[in-house]
Chains A and B, each alone.
Chain A
Amino acid sequence: MDEFEEIVKTHQKRVYNICLRLCGDPDDAFDLSQEVFLKAWRGLEGFRGGSSVYTWLYRLAVNTCADFTRKKTRRGVMVSLDETDLPLPDARFEPSLALERKELARSLEEALKSLSPEHREILTLRETAELSYGEIARLLELEEGTVKSRLARARLALREMVIKTGNYSSQNTSNKREDKKKGGGRNGTL
């Protein structure tokens, strides 16, 4: 019990934040975090190595949140007919997220909720759980190349969503980007 108490205290913040990012609601995240640790407690006997405690817990968290989401909403799949591959956006003439940090903070949380479950999941494992590509690959049982690809796509989707949901001024921020890198080839074509 003492050992498990230490596990709870050490990992509760990260597990809570993973649940919060994946389900989007603090009350749900609280309940789901409890559920994760109680599942861990019940499965503790079965856990003897093979992976680190935290990746085991994070896997339980991802699993528990996915189950919760399935019950709560009938999410599904949209296949875009506008673009089957994500093209490289021309960021030179789009708002700079780096220069609009205040707006970014407001937009990011909402934008995350709009991502596909797979993109939200992999971004959470990288940015909130701070797992390496190798750890994510093992946890999700993907090739590392797939992790790399999916993360890139998730970031593009998130960036697009943040720009859509945020109150950015393309023209102004584009100018700021120009100002910031004046003489740095901003007017060049790809």
Chain B
Amino acid sequence: MEHCDIEALSAFIDGELPEESAARLRAHMEECPNCRALAEDMAALKEGFAALEAEPPDTLAPGILYKISLGEEPPRRRRVVRSLVSVAACLIAALVISRTVYSPQLDSYFNLSGGGMSSEVADMDGLMARIESGETGTDDSMFTAESPQAWFDSVEEAGNAREYGESAAAPPLELNEAEAGAESGFGYDAFLELLDQNGFTYTEETGDHLLSVQGKSILTGDESFSVYEYDSNEAMEYDARHVRSNGYTITLPGRSAYYSWILPPNFYKKDVLIVLYVGEDNEIIRFLTDNLGEQFTEAR
């Protein structure tokens, strides 16, 4: 019996399971409500993909053929820089997030040649070989250059008391209580205003969860920030206390994780905002420090 085998369920939904195995799985699902429910969800997701299918713009094919006829290169991408006003209007209910993480492995993964097709395919071959060579049976393991789990385990007990009790929690809390008392009202809109005032052009993107709220990824040139806005200063401080002082580990309940940054993570906070910048651009670091205060992690 294919008992609660998620891979078999997934292959079954794809019609990639041999008939004999599929028959056993069907029989199992008659008796197993959990597998049946998971199969229903997987099928629903598959249908959902079909619903997302979009028609390409009418100008796509003619544009390609026209460029080929001229021997032209494709144009640079259009970038939309939103004004503060439009951003503010969009953000009334928006709490979205981006995680900005960087790893040498993934850098290699994406480090593809900008040359012609032949070299690109060759690079693709290399990249897949690299991924395969590091893979030990699970998706996550392919990127595990070191052993974060072991590392985390080793520091967990000792680190909790030290970091929460002393170095990590107390100083930032005092700083932020003072800021909160000033009722600065510094949130996402104010941060965008600062960017505007300092001459940054930027685009916004939604991202995924790094902290307990969703946030925004703000791209400016080759650099980016992740910005997390909270309902209250207390909520922001709660998350800030769960960013370890090295900036590499977040211990929020349910989303504890080690992040394999390749460049130093710089965490800043002010009022209801946490800003993460992963990088070493001095101009950006100066901008953040001048406006948000010293970072509350010590990665640098």
Known contacts A34-B63, A105-B48, A105-B51: does B31 contact A98 (CB below 8 Å)? no
Give 1 or 0 for each of A125-168: 1 = CB within 8 Å of chain B CB: 01110001100000011100010111111011011011010000
> B259: which A residues are within 8 A, CB to CB?
76-79
Structural contact, B256 and A81, CB atoms closer than 8 A = yes
Smallest CB–CB gap between A167 and chain B, Å? Answer: 13
Q: Check if A69 is an interface residue, CB within 8 A of chain B.
A: yes
Q: Assuming A12-B56, A141-B132, is B117 touching A79 (CB within 8 A)?
A: no
Q: Is the CB of B148 within 8 A of A133?
A: no
Q: Is A73's CB within 8 Å of the partner chain B?
A: yes
- A20: Cβ under 8 A from any B Cβ: yes
Contact B53 A128 (CB under 8 A): yes
Are B60 and A34 in contact, with the CB atoms below 8 A? yes
Residue numbers in A under 8 Å from B13 (CB-CB): 155
Q: Chain B nearest CB: distance from A113 CB in Å?
A: 6
Residue of A nearest to B128 (CB): A141
Shortest beta-carbon distance, B145 to chain A, in Å? 9
CB neighbours of A12 from chain B (8 A): 56, 60-61, 64
A63 CB to closest chain B CB, in angstroms?
A: 5
Contacting chain A: which of B178-186, B202-210, B234-242? B202-210
**Residues in chain B near residue A97, CB distance under 8 A:** 40-41, 44-45, 48
* A111 vs chain B, min Cβ distance (A): 9
Which of B31, B45, B117, B132 is within 8 Å of A108, CB to CB?
B45
Within 8 A of B (CB), among A165-190: 177, 181, 184-188, 190
**What 0/1 pattern do residues 80 to 108 of A give for CB contact below 8 A with B?**
11101110111110101110010011001
Inter-chain CA distance A116–B106, complex, in Å, is 11
Closest B residue to A38 using CB positions: B74
For the complex, what is the distance from the CA of A150 to the CA of B140, rounded to whole Å? 10
**Which residue in chain A gives the minimum CB-CB distance to B147?**
A79
Which residue from chain A places its CB closest to the CB of B137 in the assembled complex? A149
* Contact indicator B128/A74 (Cβ below 8 Å): no
B-contact 0/1 string along A22-33, CB 8 Å cutoff? 001011101101
> What are some 19 contacts across the A-B interface (CB < 8 A)?
A1-B69, A27-B77, A31-B77, A66-B109, A73-B98, A74-B102, A74-B278, A76-B259, A81-B152, A90-B34, A98-B43, A108-B49, A116-B139, A117-B109, A152-B6, A155-B13, A158-B45, A159-B41, A190-B34
